[in-house]
Structure 1
Amino acid sequence: MHTEEGKLPRSRLANERLHAVIPGGAHTYAKGDDQYPEDLAPVISRGRGAHVWDVDGNRYIEYGSGLRSVSLGHAHPRVTEAVRRELDRGSNFVRPSILEAEAAERFLATVPTAEMVKFAKNGSDATTAAVRLARAVTGRPRVAICADHPFFSVDDWFIGTTPLSAGVPAATTELTVAFPYGDLAATEELLTRYPDEVACLVLEPAGHTEPPPGYLAGLRRLVDRYGCVLVFDEMITGFRWSEAGAQGLYGVVPDLSTFGKALGNGFAVSALAGRRELMERGGLRHSGDRVFLLSTTHGAETHALAAAMAVQRVYVEEGATARLHALGERLAAGVRDAAAGAGVGDHVVVRGRASNLVFATLDENGQPSQPYRTLFLRQLLAGGVLAPSFVVSSALDDAAIERTVDVVGRACAVYRKALDAADPTPWLGGRPVRPVFRRRA
């Protein structure tokens, strides 16, 4: 069945079922049906490799798998085999499993800039633990976050700074301040504006653009000078930039860093890692005040840690990061050529590191446009491409890339018609997609 013609009748019914029992109809807002064209939000039945199938039976080439977490492709055999081995051995005990030591040793061998690690289930918990630890060791209340990075945690210290701030006390939000990425002078001005108040700087070490020369090293010098803690959020950059994260690639060592997403290839595992001197404050072998760092019932489930260990072996032994970059470069070149060929090269724009590509949809005035994004997504879905971004997985092959570029070319031809009409409305098929972070539902 053609995706557009049927308008996904079973997926539409499934979306209604989801909304009836789950607030927002999904467990992550970025997966919500408001992020997709009306009546074209597929509900997934299964996935293998770089493909997923929806409940209507349609097959898609999938990008941005699991919100960037499934970087090796769905049901990767080495990962699922490692998980299966643990399932019959029990997953959670009243004392630590020996697997916890093995997983920690494996992680620290992969990310040698860290000295200790503690595992959890999601990135928010790990990043909030880093913030709590920084506040404890510095005795300072304020948290400085990078204003140019979209998400750090579901917890109040961050969510209170977004349009979705309902339920967060103003007093909490006032303790979080922001600094611009790439601007050392502005960051130093912030630190001098709040003398001896800023506990930590929290940022993604890289995003859609590469860090300016000397920037990360300059941040390292600033935090040392002003006595605060440098926290790298490596949820996305971890493994996609290098096996050792962005810190391994750029050679700048943070005090603390957080990993997740690609670490488990879809299984729930995250990590807080960092300097022993700081991390041990959350332990038992010191004489100071204890820090309640991370204590999670399910943080050390054996099958998830086995998945993480298998992922790290695949990355190191099979050169997965290099493959992600090669695939992304091929895709980016193809999309840019297709867009240029259709006369929309200035409107459908591919950005980011090759292993972490996103696209921008710009209107006739060159401004970001949700209606044009809706048009583009609708055309991609009709061609069997599920792509909220162009973030690749290593399971893609040349045929999938070629098919994607072909579908993008046809989508760009429609895009050109809408630009010529200065109105994408006839091609939307309903309401436009909406930003995740908005105040009103």
Structure 2
Amino acid sequence: MSSELSLAKSQAANERLHAVIPGGAHTYAKGDDQYPEGMAPVISHGRGAHVWDVDGNSYIEYGSGLRAVSLGHAHPRVTEAVRRELDRGANFVRPSIIELTAAERFLAAVPTAEMVKFTKNGSDATTAAIRLARAATGRPLVAMCADQPFFSTDDWFIGPTPMNAGIPQQQTVSFPYGDLTAAEQLLSAHPGQIACLILEAATQHEPPPGYLAGLRDLAHRHGALLIFDEMITGLRWSEAGAQGVYGVTPDLSTFGKALGNGFAVSALAGRRDLMEQGGVRDPRERVFLLSTTHGAETHSLAAAMAVLDTYAQEGIAARLHALGDRLAAGVREVAAAMGVGDHVLVRGRASNLVFATLDANLRPSQEYRTLFLRQLLTNGVIGPSFVVSSALSDDDIDRTVDAVAQACAVYRKALDVDDPAPWLGGRPVRPVFRRFA
């Protein structure tokens, strides 16, 4: 791609987006403030691991759909399954037979779960898990992992963040990841009050030996439930998620993102005795668990089954790890060669890589992130992370590593003068969770 990246149409479209959509996007993480000023492409279409913007520029894409599109855009097996269902109707007054087959297929892939309920987004699934845990235990408090970035758009999670305008005081407490002693201290500080502990089983770091099993035992000893948020780890770690890799069965778990390869489907799964409290065959007081008009749209469930079948038959989880390993090795090699190996870092599981940009004092820097993103975009790579899809080719990885090398050369220049400003092109990218715009 030319160093003179033209984004005139994208800039005009961004202005129109802000005029009709608060924030200019339906997800804050997709906002143009997450990209260098004037360099936020508006996407026209995508195929495989590549996307094109409205200006006609093409990019190798990472973090597709905020980690949702793990098979690549317009995957033929998924789109064909969706097309078949569209001709049969999308939504009915009673359950369709595909709701049964999709539930059975999901539970076959996640054998640690006994029942499942589908919905449209991750927030609804995690909040349903919280509601069910509170009802089952009769307790008000939610304990969430403080070291993980996002669980829900609902009040119980957003309340403790800097963007809590309009939210009353919430009954949410937190614990650090990987520290059983801290978790036990939290449970002991609120005796008989904590309904559940919710966390991602792993993110950028693998769990310490015995941590997940110890956390489950600790929760149960204090009368609380353990909930795994598998929105990211589901399918990317294995078909059965992180629980399938680490051998620890939570009481409840939530899945989404990769489950539909971009189509809107998520799931709450867990123990039968808990899930049935949201049904109609249990003698206990009922829980209004999940009741969504569009939760079981036939085409989205067809997409989910096609995704699960593709993962199982083509070894997709293993391919994601292999691609990530290749990318991480290449990025580390060129960063070291350019003298920025301590400043441009690749972290996380191979199937879920992120990058960190550190300043001259090895502190996280939004300014250096802006410089890095700007150079990647100029050289035909887009992504807030290095999260791979299985559609990437070896050539795509090689081209990405070349783009990173060129970005690292500029990064070195900025470090040498201890000032990235000349390479920013405007204001730095901004964190999503901030009190004022």
TM superposition score normalised by structure 1: 0.99
Q: How does 1:284-299 map onto structure 2 within 5 Å?
A: 284-299=280-295
Paired residues of 1:243 and 1:316 also in contact (CA < 8 A): yes
Aligned to 1:130: 129
Distance 1:161 1:224 in 2: 25
Distance 1:195 1:184 in 2: 16
**Is 1:179 equivalent to 2:169 in the alignment?**
no
Q: How does 1:373-384 map onto structure 2 within 5 Å?
A: 373-384=369-380
Aligned to 1:244: 240
How far the C-alpha of 1:5 sits from its partner, in A, is 1.8
Distance 1:134 1:214 in 2: 24
Secondary structure at 1:5's aligned position in 2?
coil
Secondary structure at 2:162's aligned position in 1?
coil
**Is 1:29 equivalent to 2:40 in the alignment?**
no
Secondary structure at 1:415's aligned position in 2?
helix
Q: How does 1:420-435 map onto structure 2 within 5 Å?
A: 420-435=416-431
Aligned to 1:214: 210
Q: Which amino acid aligns with 2:199?
A: L
Distance 2:66 2:101 in 1: 27
Q: How does 1:115-154 map onto structure 2 within 5 Å?
A: 115-154=114-153
**Is 1:323 equivalent to 2:322 in the alignment?**
no
Paired residues of 2:103 and 2:116 also in contact (CA < 8 A): yes
Give the alignment partner of residue 311 of structure 1, picking from 307, 310, 316: 307
Q: Please give the per-residue CA displacement for 1:215-265, whole angstroms capped at 9, x wherever unaligned.
A: 001011101111111000000000000110000110000000000000000
Distance 1:51 1:25 in 2: 23
Aligned to 1:108: 107
Secondary structure at 2:227's aligned position in 1?
strand
Q: Please give the per-residue CA displacement for 1:310-368, whole angstroms capped at 9, x wherever unaligned.
A: 00000011000000000000000000001000000000000000000000000000000
Q: How does 1:77-96 map onto structure 2 within 5 Å?
A: 77-96=76-95
Distance 1:350 1:103 in 2: 36
Aligned to 1:52: 51
**Is 1:337 equivalent to 2:336 in the alignment?**
no
Distance 1:388 1:242 in 2: 23
Aligned to 1:300: 296
Q: Please give the per-residue CA displacement for 1:158-191, whole angstroms capped at 9, x wherever unaligned.
A: 0001111001012xx2x10000100001100100
Secondary structure at 2:4's aligned position in 1?
helix
Aligned to 1:13: 12
Secondary structure at 2:60's aligned position in 1?
strand
Distance 1:326 1:131 in 2: 35
Q: Which amino acid aligns with 1:259?
A: F
Aligned to 1:275: 271
Distance 1:374 1:50 in 2: 23
Paired residues of 2:18 and 2:24 also in contact (CA < 8 A): yes
How far the C-alpha of 1:387 sits from its partner, in A, is 1.9
Percent identical across equivalent pairs?
78
Aligned to 1:76: 75
Secondary structure at 2:191's aligned position in 1?
coil
How far the C-alpha of 1:267 sits from its partner, in A, is 0.1
Q: How does 1:169-208 map onto structure 2 within 5 Å?
A: 169-170=168-169, 173=170, 175-208=171-204
Distance 2:17 2:199 in 1: 34
Distance 1:7 1:147 in 2: 41
Paired residues of 1:118 and 1:273 also in contact (CA < 8 A): yes
Q: Which amino acid aligns with 1:331?
A: L
Paired residues of 2:5 and 2:378 also in contact (CA < 8 A): no
Paired residues of 2:230 and 2:241 also in contact (CA < 8 A): yes
Aligned to 1:411: 407
Distance 2:122 2:398 in 1: 34
Q: Please give the per-residue CA displacement for 1:404-423, whole angstroms capped at 9, x wherever unaligned.
A: 00010010000000000000
How far the C-alpha of 1:148 sits from its partner, in A, is 0.5
Q: Which amino acid aligns with 1:312?
A: L
Paired residues of 1:7 and 1:39 also in contact (CA < 8 A): no
**Is 1:160 equivalent to 2:156 in the alignment?**
no
TM superposition score normalised by structure 2: 0.99
Q: Which amino acid aligns with 2:220?
A: D
Distance 1:226 1:217 in 2: 14
How far the C-alpha of 1:7 sits from its partner, in A, is 4.0
Q: Which amino acid aligns with 2:18?
A: H
Which sections of structure 1, spanning at least 5 residues, go unmatched? none
Q: Which amino acid aligns with 1:211?
A: P
Distance 2:395 2:383 in 1: 16
Distance 2:87 2:237 in 1: 34
Distance 1:387 1:105 in 2: 35
Distance 1:394 1:6 in 2: 27
How far the C-alpha of 1:6 sits from its partner, in A, is 4.2
Secondary structure at 2:198's aligned position in 1?
strand
Give the alignment partner of residue 388 of structure 2, picking from 386, 389, 392: 392
Distance 1:112 1:201 in 2: 22
Number of corresponding residues? 437
Paired residues of 2:140 and 2:193 also in contact (CA < 8 A): yes
Distance 1:358 1:429 in 2: 23
**Is 1:225 equivalent to 2:242 in the alignment?**
no
Aligned to 2:65: 66
Paired residues of 1:71 and 1:393 also in contact (CA < 8 A): yes
Paired residues of 2:6 and 2:55 also in contact (CA < 8 A): no
User: After TM superposition, what 4+ stretches of structure 1 lie above 4 angstroms from structure 2?
Assistant: none
Which sections of structure 2, spanning at least 5 residues, go unmatched? none
